[in-house]
Structure 1
Amino acid sequence: MPPYDARGEANRAKRHRAVLIGVEHYEGARNDLPAVATNLRLMREALTAERTGMLGPDDLVEVPADGGPATVDPLRVRAALTAAREEVTGLLVVYFAGHGIVRPDGSDLNLMFTDSRVTRDRHHPFVDTLSWRDDIMPELRYARADWVVVILDCCFAGNALWAFSPAAGQNFALLTAAEPGVEIPPGDPGTGTEFTAALHRLLTTGEGEPVTFTRIVTGIRRAMAPYKAVDGHPWVPDERRHGDDVVLALAAGPEPPRQPPRDGAPKGHTRRWPRLSAPALPHRLLPVLVRRMTRTTALVLAGVAVLATGGTWYLLGGSAEGACDSPLELRVLTDPDLRPTVQKAADAYPRRDAHGCRTVGINVYDAKATDAVSALRSSSLWQEPPAVCPASGVCPRPQRDVGAQPDVWIPAAGSAWQRATAEGAGGGPGGGETSTSTGRSVVKLDRLGSVAYTPIVLGVPDTMSLPQSLQTDDPLGEIITGLEAAQEVEILRPDPEGTEAALLATDALYATSADGHASTVEQGMAGALRPMPSTARELMCALADGTHNDLEDRAAVLVPEQTLAQFNLSAGETGRPACATEALAHRVAHYPSDVPMLDLPFVRVSWEGADRDAVARRTAVEDFYEWLVTDRAAQECFTDDGFRGVDEGDPAPPGDDSVLRSEDNTTAVRERIPTTGPNADASASLNETLSRYRGALGPGRVLYLLDNSTSVADKRLWDGTGGAKELVARSMGSLGAEDSYGVWTAAVAPGKPVTELVGLGPNTGAAVRKAVAGAGTAAFDARIGAGLRAALTALRGDSTVAEQPRLLVLVTDGEDFEDVGKSEQAALVTDAGRTPPVRIVTVSLQDGACAPGRFGDRLAVASGGRCLDPGDDIAAELAAEVAKAGTGDAE
């Protein structure tokens, strides 16, 4: 297909818009960005250029507005995006320039505004920001626009690529100033940032043919090649595109023919909406109407003129827009795994009156499963949010974390409903959902029944060996044991904070862990894929994107059956996700007997004091539920996406037209499976699982043990670039204020304990780096064996947090390392495998210690750690290993 052209004949009458967001001024610790003002001017010029621009001046929405307050807050930005989502039918361009910030693991890019700040709340660390993953992408995913193009000019812009999730069939392109994890310079106030200045040149100087998105990508990468990002990183803009291509600027050739401007329109500006044929208005009204006419009123007045002379103008399936009353709005909150399907069902809901007017409008939105449960348990906070956050930084705000007060809640499983209604199930940030002491329940949650079903399966690549007998009716632990006995395998599941399916899978995973510790499971997953995607679809997309090919071949995934079935479809098949590629192997579903089925309960949410339209609302909710479970078209919305339908309250066998019965899934899924449901104590079990998961992710305990013998200095491995001290100091960037860490040196006189250069405990990064920089070598051999024993004992000494990540980093030249006797090596290897687990990362500054079977390799195998030598990128790999235990400070 030819690229989409907003100025082409077929699209000229549509509504186009650019939302330009620039944050120049910041309060608090963030530096101002004076180049942003120039960036906005450059983008304004490029998009509205006389000969090349795709938009007119009236098509631009700028935040902050020209001449208005310089402050920018997320509410204004969100409102501008919401309006654009609803109103734009052609091309929508969104541009952001300002500060970007991410979590320590690189996930959840947040765009920062004037009053944005960072807190110590690990679950909600950013205040007055907008999350690309949770706010902006969901807002734009269901835009009416033919094409959405987003351009991000900020630090960590590339991290948005990990949460790029357009709707099926949506045309959406994302251009980021740099690759994931890369910070960029602030730019020059006079010329703007290097990225936006280059983008302006490309959009305004194209010759010979229109400038499309794909041409922009090639051109911007070429333009940025001479520059370096922060820390000397190569400056490579990145992109994702879902759809064919889109024109962003016309060729800078002769001026194309234009329609004559309407009275009062700026010269040279082509107004792109249809000219409606209508009888003339009374002459005396024309001067007034022309003076006051806007784009919206032009359409309305033209319609009025037609109606006034006996003509009829029908909208929305044949009804005059003005004759319809506003429909009753139902707000439906659902699980992120379910959002696309529930949205499809809501769009198909046919309720209209005899005049064709919609009687019920349904607004579907999703929230993290844990946030939804917390909010409904403390639902009074929707109406009375806390005035200030407590000292802990934990500040639950349902309007921020979830959205508007729902009328209907469709979680993925009844276990979520159980947790939301259970007495005393809350546990605060370290336990289950937010404690009800921060708010009270003002809702009644009536479970009406299930709207569809799908079991959680372990999707195993069909290239792996596994006995057929283990495909169903066996516990998850036995299935995994059978897999691991035959080949190397990585077990993955999405973030259990995000979806109910991932939480239920995590509950079963922890029960199958060999040592019973969540940290073993989580650190293993972090080593395979970091950050962990938020939903099952995002996990499968991450494996399919071509950057994890080795992992894709050995990854068994715990996901809903319907997700696995969709990704099994061959290219070109209806229902195959847009991100699926041939790199993703066909997977066979194995059905663990100890993981409950997802039963998609429909929950009516009734609010105290909401009496004004209570009867009508209750009737509408019940009608929507009855339609979902009894209407064939409604059920097909679910079965077409791979769910199992409802048959008298139980899962229905898949029909002939089900995705589950497609040729691609004939041998991959089971037609009939046993029904499993949550246990009676699901609330307590899952809240405990959440507590263990959060503990397993930090804060951590990290102890560095340095070989500071004279041989290290003699070999020039102590000081300077790549030396022991520099490697340790750089890796500390992965540690945060809440982590406990210390540095010991191992070269001491015989019989003496190792030296505590910095004691193990809460420390200040600057002070520790200063101590490491000033450390010297000692005229003794390194007591590696004694140091390892003492370090393991110290790391295991604090038993108050059973799941706390623990890491021991041993840095040595290897000379004294191999002097440890065979019997002592064996004892230390045994000790390394004990619980609570301590991962050991050995950094050998010379080759040899990490060879298979050598001491460093054996310590790594026993503890689930690593052994790094000069054959590895030690600096990068060590920082990544420390990041698995530390909370970090990436921003």
Structure 2
Amino acid sequence: MIPLDPRGLVNRALLVGVSEYDFTEPPHGVPGDLPAVKRNLNRMREALAGGQVFGERDVKVLPSPSLAEFGQALQRSAREAKGLLLVYFAGHGAIPSGGDELFLQMRDAKVIAGRHTVFHGAEKFSDLLATMLATSPAQRIVVVLDCCFAGNAAPVWEHFDDKRRVLLLMSVQANHRIDAGDARTPTPFTAALAALLDEDRDTTLSDLADRLRGRMTALGLRTLRDDPWEPQLRTDLGVDVLLRSKATEEGGGKPVLPVPVPVPPPPGPGPVLRSFRALLSAPLAPLRGVCATLIGRFRTIVVPHPPRRAVVLVVLPAVLAAGLLGLGVYGLLRHAGYVGDAPACDPPLELRVLTDPDLEPTIRAAADAYLTSDENTTGDGCRRTGATVYSAGSSDVVGALRGQTGAWQEPPDEDVNPQRDIGPQPDIWIPASRADVDRVEDGQDTDAVAGLEADEEPLAYSPVVLAVPQNIASEALEDRTGLSLGEMVGDLTARDENAAVRRPDPEFTDMGLLATVGLYGEDGRAVARGERLVAQPGSPSPTAAELLCTLPDDDAVDNSTAALVPEFLLRSGVGCDLTTRSPRLAQYPDDVPGVEPTFVRVMWRGGHRDAPARDASAERFRDWLAGERGGGQVFARYGFRSADDQKLLDKEHVAEGVLREPTPLDESAGRDAMARTLDAYQEAGGPGRVLFLLDSSGSMTRLWKGPSGGPGLLRQSLGGLGGHDEYGVWAVAGTGDDPAYGALLPLGPHTRAEAERAVDTGARVRDAEADPHAALLAALDEMRDRGDDRRPQLIVHLTDGEDNNRLTGDRLDDVLTAARTSGVPVTVVSLQSGGCDRDRPDRRIADASDGRCLDADDDLGAALHDEVARTGTGEG
């Protein structure tokens, strides 16, 4: 491995240190200022500028920038660097609940829980890679992160297409927070880093990382979890770069800089080669560049082996003769007017192409192929058009094109800035569904400054499939096609009661929203049922590709979890494909719309200066992208189907687990279905409604007190509810003429203290039996009457099961029928062992309502809290 030596090239270092923050107070502030970070910047500048790779003017220091200031400075440095670009960040780092992303918090950072974009004023690391660094012409890009959770950048880097150029040094392992240290000195990581850079020796990044780990271990540094503090390095195989070189003096003491290439230069040319080079400098030398290239290649082969003079004497005359013959032929062609001098190419017009996150790898590959195609090349060999492909959350893009085009063109303030949150104004938008275009046009502002011109036909097609682990899948064709998604999930859980289903985030990628259309169906009351089918700990994966990458982290999860993903990912794979351990079979639900990438031209008011040229470039790209020999070949390679007949574009290389011609397939998503589903999903994540039925009959006496008793479990679950949720508690005891229940806490919003006080003072065991039949029917009626506001709802029945003799025959059938039709899940908490066995009434009621049954064999406190938290908004 020979590292790149960037000396003598145009190098840039951007040192960003956020020591002061505008917002540090609850509820939305960051943890506090970081005075030690102020010391980092000067220390790093001294260390870098003294090492021959960077000069004083090559290093820019950026103290406590806003997000906008950071973006501008980074874009400038990235644009200027041709050899090495180094980006250093020190400040607060933050991660979402899933830990699958890292946010670098700038001076104007805020944390606003409950919104899809939680971290405002922060740079998302994946965006940093994809939209800022990827476009830099630098040969190597080094990113150094000194912040909490720095190691969480590693999986983001793993999924980055252009990671061979990017080398990533992180101050600490994933999911760890670190101490900034004494305010009078640099932070511990940067202090060690700069000290090693100061050493008078040749230092590559990999060497630096090795010595840095050793130094921090020797210092005994530990993270805030009291684990050893271990810096992390991520580079592609065989990639390295020189960061600093010791000075070598010659003559007047100036350092001698070697040629900046990874191999030593060959010896100078001999007299024959010099004579030939002189010939090429004459006026009759239009092939000078070609011949010089031939000489260079010839010299590389022949000159390093001086003993083999015979080879030189035999081969060189032939090369000379070929060169002279070429000159003669060239002169004749030029005289005939067929060729001329090679022109200087003007910079091509750059198209900005915005797409769905899951489509980005395919569209990027298509754009790369187009850039070098004949259709994009002039007769002089110049490129007509360039293309920058980037992605953003689908619901954010739709919202911005509907109501924020003015702010996109000219951001009025930091709060509303699509240029920052999404990216530059697109010339072309390729959503995953034509319905997205209809959603924009249906609600677009009357004063919008962007208009859409969408193709009528999509570019390609891919169904959204239920990708089931092979070990729990059915290979029978009747189980893989012709069924609704609900029926397929029901069959799956019947085969394996531990089976689970996950889908990507419906707000971030259309793949997740299309899957959710099938989950919810046409009945608005099926929202709760649909969400319970895909319930999981933590937040859903942002994209389908990341979902497939996340599952193999745990063998048990990977082997028992089906994923709702587009079929093409089973062919084209994802960045972590080699780690996927469980092969999968695709099932094709007939009520889930497919993915239909659609070409949309975005026309911006005021963009008339180069409008004709931009229109022509966009039209050429569209024609190529829609053609069989252009974009069609790329879509085929990535596993898509034809938009016309839904047959695989590549019929020879079919991914394992994919059906060649599954039928029927749900073709397109409608505007109203997509909009309705997204609204329902967002509401499902909002305030919920929970009704607790607490068995208060005499048999509960032995199961009443302590944290594992009925009231204790109820109190623990209140942590999953917040001030905006509605909830109530009924005491269930009474049969015959006695009321079947009494309200301890009326349905409505409450503080936790208020609810606990009502349970503590009002909950008592009565000398009576319980009638679960009457109480459950009344609870289902109550929730059905309140369900028009589409809040997520849940009934929790805590019981010892002693009175289930009143849940038999027609009485049980009545409850099961009501549970199936109400759309309200019932979680039954049985305080006896075996209470959730398959044929027991508690289990049957839970299954009929798409709820869950918990019994004494489960960790009841934690499990019930999680069930309630899925419906409520939580204490935070």
**TM-score for the superposition, normalised by structure 1:** 0.71
The aligned residue for residue 77 of structure 1 is 70
Question: Does the Cα contact within 8 Å between 2:131 and 2:423 map onto a contact in 1?
Answer: no
The aligned residue for residue 468 of structure 2 is 460
Matched residue SS, 1:337: coil
Matched residue SS, 2:786: coil
The aligned residue for residue 572 of structure 2 is 566
The aligned residue for residue 679 of structure 2 is 691
* Distance in 2 separating the partners of 1:843 and 1:40: 58
The aligned residue for residue 445 of structure 1 is 453
Is the deviation greater in 21-30 or in 379-388? 379-388
* Match runs of 1:258-269 below 5 Å: 258-260=247-249
Shift of 1:129: 2.9
Aligned to 2:726, which of 740, 764, 767? 740
Matched residue SS, 2:633: helix
Residue 552 of structure 1 pairs with residue 546 of structure 2: no
RMSD of aligned Cα (Å): 5.6
* Distance in 1 separating the partners of 2:549 and 2:476: 28
* Distance in 2 separating the partners of 1:189 and 1:313: 61
How many aligned positions are there? 788
Residue 620 of structure 1 pairs with residue 617 of structure 2: yes
Matched residue SS, 2:466: strand
Residue 639 of structure 1 pairs with residue 636 of structure 2: yes
* Match runs of 1:789-804 below 5 Å: 789=776, 798-802=786-790, 804=791
Change (3 A) 1:324 1:490: same
Shift of 1:695: 1.9
The aligned residue for residue 835 of structure 1 is 822
Change (3 A) 1:808 1:56: farther
The aligned residue for residue 344 of structure 1 is 365
Change (3 A) 1:81 1:501: same
Structure 1 spans left out of the alignment, 5+ residues? 65-70, 278-305, 390-394, 427-435, 568-576
* Distance in 2 separating the partners of 1:116 and 1:714: 53
Question: Does the Cα contact within 8 Å between 1:470 and 1:590 map onto a contact in 2?
Answer: yes
Residue identity opposite 1:526 in structure 2: A
Residue identity opposite 2:392 in structure 1: A
The aligned residue for residue 431 of structure 1 is none
* Distance in 1 separating the partners of 2:689 and 2:751: 14
Matched residue SS, 1:113: strand
The aligned residue for residue 244 of structure 1 is 237
Max Rg structure: 2
* 1:208-250 deviation line (CA, Å, top 9, x unaligned): 9985598589769978998564xx7868879694633766999
The aligned residue for residue 886 of structure 1 is 872
* Distance in 1 separating the partners of 2:9 and 2:842: 69
The aligned residue for residue 317 of structure 2 is none
* 1:281-315 deviation line (CA, Å, top 9, x unaligned): xxxxxxxxxxxxxxxxxxxxxxxxx9xxx999999
Matched residue SS, 1:581: helix
**Percent of matched pairs sharing the same residue:** 31
Question: Does the Cα contact within 8 Å between 1:13 and 1:274 map onto a contact in 2?
Answer: no
* Distance in 2 separating the partners of 1:637 and 1:337: 15
* Distance in 1 separating the partners of 2:58 and 2:826: 56
* 1:828-856 deviation line (CA, Å, top 9, x unaligned): 97476662323527496x97767777787
Change (3 A) 1:183 1:478: same
Is the deviation greater in 157-166 or in 586-595? 157-166
* Match runs of 1:762-781 below 5 Å: 762-764=749-751, 767=753, 775=760, 780=765
Shift of 1:518: 1.7
The aligned residue for residue 301 of structure 1 is none
* Distance in 2 separating the partners of 1:203 and 1:212: 11
* Distance in 1 separating the partners of 2:788 and 2:186: 52
Change (3 A) 1:196 1:560: same
Question: Does the Cα contact within 8 Å between 2:454 and 2:598 map onto a contact in 1?
Answer: no
The aligned residue for residue 822 of structure 1 is 805
The aligned residue for residue 287 of structure 1 is none
* 1:773-796 deviation line (CA, Å, top 9, x unaligned): x94797745989579757766655
Change (3 A) 1:614 1:201: closer
Question: Does the Cα contact within 8 Å between 1:107 and 1:531 map onto a contact in 2?
Answer: no
Residue identity opposite 2:386 in structure 1: G
* Match runs of 1:672-711 below 5 Å: 677-678=667-668, 682-702=670-690
* Match runs of 1:143-154 below 5 Å: 150=143, 152=145, 154=147
Is the deviation greater in 98-107 or in 616-625? 98-107
Matched residue SS, 1:632: coil
* Distance in 2 separating the partners of 1:452 and 1:248: 41
Residue 534 of structure 1 pairs with residue 542 of structure 2: yes
Change (3 A) 1:22 1:711: farther
Aligned to 1:26, which of 22, 27, 41? 22
Change (3 A) 1:808 1:225: farther
* Distance in 2 separating the partners of 1:728 and 1:176: 43
Matched residue SS, 2:624: helix
Shift of 1:407: 1.7
The aligned residue for residue 290 of structure 1 is none
The aligned residue for residue 303 of structure 1 is none
* Distance in 2 separating the partners of 1:216 and 1:713: 65
* Distance in 2 separating the partners of 1:176 and 1:710: 60
The aligned residue for residue 369 of structure 1 is 394
Shift of 1:530: 3.6
Change (3 A) 1:889 1:588: same
* Distance in 2 separating the partners of 1:157 and 1:80: 21
* Match runs of 1:120-269 below 5 Å: 122-133=115-126, 138-140=131-133, 150=143, 152=145, 154=147, 166-168=159-161, 170-171=163-164, 173=168, 175=170, 177=172, 179-180=174-175, 188-190=182-184, 215=210, 227=222, 229=224, 241=234, 243-244=236-237, 257-260=246-249
Question: Does the Cα contact within 8 Å between 1:336 and 1:367 map onto a contact in 2?
Answer: yes
Matched residue SS, 1:130: strand
* 1:783-814 deviation line (CA, Å, top 9, x unaligned): 89579757766655532332x22345677xxx
Is the deviation greater in 399-408 or in 379-388? 379-388
Matched residue SS, 1:539: helix
Residue identity opposite 1:552 in structure 2: D
Question: Does the Cα contact within 8 Å between 1:352 and 1:358 map onto a contact in 2?
Answer: yes
Residue 417 of structure 1 pairs with residue 425 of structure 2: no
* Distance in 1 separating the partners of 2:251 and 2:829: 74
Shift of 1:622: 1.1
Matched residue SS, 1:799: helix
Change (3 A) 1:865 1:113: farther
Change (3 A) 1:752 1:42: farther
* Distance in 1 separating the partners of 2:155 and 2:771: 44
Change (3 A) 1:594 1:829: closer
The aligned residue for residue 297 of structure 2 is none
Larger helix fraction of residues = 2
Residue 517 of structure 1 pairs with residue 526 of structure 2: yes
* Distance in 2 separating the partners of 1:176 and 1:126: 21
Shift of 1:73: 0.7
Question: Does the Cα contact within 8 Å between 1:195 and 1:224 map onto a contact in 2?
Answer: no
Residue 661 of structure 1 pairs with residue 657 of structure 2: no
Matched residue SS, 2:789: coil
* Distance in 1 separating the partners of 2:80 and 2:53: 18
Structure 2 spans left out of the alignment, 5+ residues? 266-280, 294-339
Shift of 1:517: 0.9
* 1:89-146 deviation line (CA, Å, top 9, x unaligned): 6665544443445567777654433233355773445443333455665544666556
Shift of 1:152: 5.0
